Amino acid sequence: MTLSGKTAVITGSNSGIGLGVAIELAKAGADVVLNSFTNRDEDHALAAEISKNHGVNARYIQADMSKGSDCRKLISDSGRCDILVNNAGIQHVAPIDEFPEDKWDAIIAINLSSAFHTTAAALPMMRAAGWGRVVNIASAHGLTASPFKSAYIAAKHGVVGLTKTTALETAQEPITANAICPGYVLTPLVEAQIPDTMREYNMSREEVVKNVMLTRQPSKDFATVEQVGGTSVFLCSDAATQITGTTISVDGGWTAL
C-alpha cells in the first residue's frame, strides 16, 4: 500500500510510540509532521533523518499540546492533515486524595483535550481533501482501570469516547476515526524505569519485566513501537475503510483477562 501524497500529523512524536508511528507512516509513503513542545536541533534532525531514510517530506513543528490554541495552530501550520495521530501523553501516579490538581489538569489537557482541538481543526481539511483518518493512541487503560492512575485512566477512557463520537459525525464521509489501545510498549521511557525497579525490588531485569511490568500482559512480552505504527498504517489502508469508531488492542491479551 502507499500513503504517498498524504500528510500525517503525529502529536508528541519526538520519541517513543509517536516517533515509531511516524516512521511506519513514512515507510508507507506519507509525508509526516513531527511535534513536541520543545524546539531543539535534535527535534528537527529527527525529521531530516526520516526524510533522508524514507524519501518523504518530514518536518518538525513545535507546539504545546497542553494549550488548545497550540493544538489548533499545529494543524493549520501543517498546511494539510490527511492523517491525524493523537499520541502526545504524560502520566502521573498517586492516590486520588493525594493527586496534585495541576497534574490532573495537565494530563486531561495533554492526553484528552488536545485530541479534541486537533480533531476539530483537522476535520475541515480532511473534508476538503475528500479523505481522512483519525488514529487516537489510547491505552489498555482506555478500556480497563488500575489504582493510582485516575487522571490517565479518565483521559484515556475519554479518548475512546471522543473516537466514537468523531466516527459517528463522519460516518457517511470518507473519514474514519479509531483508537489503538496498547498494553505495555517498550519505549525509552519504560526502558528507563527498569534499572530503578530492579534495585527497588532486588530483582533481575527478567523478573522486573515479567513479574512487575507485565503482570497484566498475558503474552509476557512488550508490544513494540513498530507494531503500534504498523497498526496505524493498517487503519489508513483501504482494508480498514469500514473500520470506524472502534478500538484495536495491541496488548498481548491484557483486555481478554
Chain residues binding ligand NAD by CB under 6 A are 12-18, 35-37, 64-66, 87-90, 110-111, 137, 139, 182, 184-185, 187-190
131 vs 227 by CB, closer to ligand NAD:
227
Return the SS3 of 36: strand
CB atoms within 10 A of CB 255: 15
**In the bound complex, what is the minimum distance in angstroms from residue 242's beta carbon to ligand NAD?**
25
**In the bound complex, what is the minimum distance in angstroms from residue 172's beta carbon to ligand NAD?**
29
125 vs 138 by CB, closer to ligand NAD:
138
180 vs 236 by CB, closer to ligand NAD:
180
Q: Active-site residue among 60, 152, 184, 201? A: 152
Active site residue 152: yes
Cα–Cα distances (Å) from 170 to 129, 139, 174, 194, 217, in that order, read 14, 23, 8, 42, 34
**In the bound complex, what is the minimum distance in angstroms from residue 198's beta carbon to ligand NAD?**
18
Phi, psi values for residue 91, rounded to 5° = -135, 150
Distance CA 246, CA 106 (A): 26
Amino acid at 102: D
Phi, psi values for residue 144, rounded to 5° = -135, 170
144 vs 237 by CB, closer to ligand NAD:
144
Under DSSP, the state recorded for 56 is S
**In the bound complex, what is the minimum distance in angstroms from residue 156's beta carbon to ligand NAD?**
7
Catalytic machinery residues: 152
